[in-house]
Amino acid sequence: MSRNDGRSSRLRRRPSRTVPAIVVGIVLLAASVALAWASIARLIDGTWSTLLLGLRDWLVGLHWDDPSLWIIGIVAVVVGVVLLLCALIPGAFSALTVRNATARADADAQEHEHTAAERETVMTRRAVAHLARAQCVKLDGVGTASATASNKRVHLKVDTSLRETDDLRIRVIEDVRDRLNTTGLDPLPRITATIETTG
């Protein structure tokens, strides 16, 4: 994944904000379902639900100096500020940077200096985990493998039929490290592995 244009020399470092989006979506969905249910009930029976009537009576009885009203207002403000900050504040960079292969391979560095400065190439953490797993399963002795990746660490969980796993663990770490280094990850994440004997 890369970007190369004259407007910006850096990728926008914003996380997906999945959790706030899911929470807001669930709340809005619940409110929509409740409103639709109440409207359908009103059309069928000709009267509003007793639940809504009870809520209406409770709201009518509230006063500006009522502690319940102040608590509701404070909670609403806090939730709104938190969601607003989630939308506006850039999050931590959630991808791993890759050295510019074009600039390394080209002998004429000065000719491509400007292009290299404008280009930033990255790999997502999921792509790095897939790459590490694919390299791991190629090794002799590896039965199955799974991998997880963060910005600074790649961890592999390997199942093997071997009883002595120390040598396999070393080979897994070194082979995956060499593969990620060849890919151009910079800085290179720390590689760890857990080997489990099965069967």
Q: Find the CATH number of the domain harbouring 134.
A: 3.30.300.30
pLDDT digits (tens, 9 = 90+) for 159-193: 999 998 999 999 999 999 999 999 999 889 999 99
Q: Go through the chain and tell me how many residues it has.
A: 199
pLDDT value, residue 103 = 47
User: What's residue 25's pLDDT?
Assistant: 87
Asked whether residue 12 is domain-assigned, the answer is no
Compute CA distances 87 → 15, 57, 82, 166, whole Å. Answer: 10, 36, 9, 46
Residues 30 and 64 in one domain: yes
Specify if 5 maps to a domain: no
User: Is residue 9 in a domain?
Assistant: no
Together in a domain, 113 and 68: no
In a domain, 193, yes or no: yes
pLDDT at 94: 72
Q: Decide if pLDDT at 26 tops 50.
A: yes
Tally of CB atoms within 10 A around 96? 24
In this predicted structure, the answer to whether residue 10 has a pLDDT above a threshold of 60 is no
pTM given for the model: 0.56
Which domain range does residue 190 map to?
97-197
Closest CA to 12 of 89, 80, 85: 89
Reported as a single tens digit per residue, the pLDDT across 85-142 is 877 776 666 778 888 654 444 544 554 454 445 567 888 889 999 999 999 999 999 9
Q: Side-chain half-sphere of 37: how many Cα atoms within 13 Å?
A: 10
Residues 191 and 107 in one domain: yes
> How many domains does the chain fold into?
2
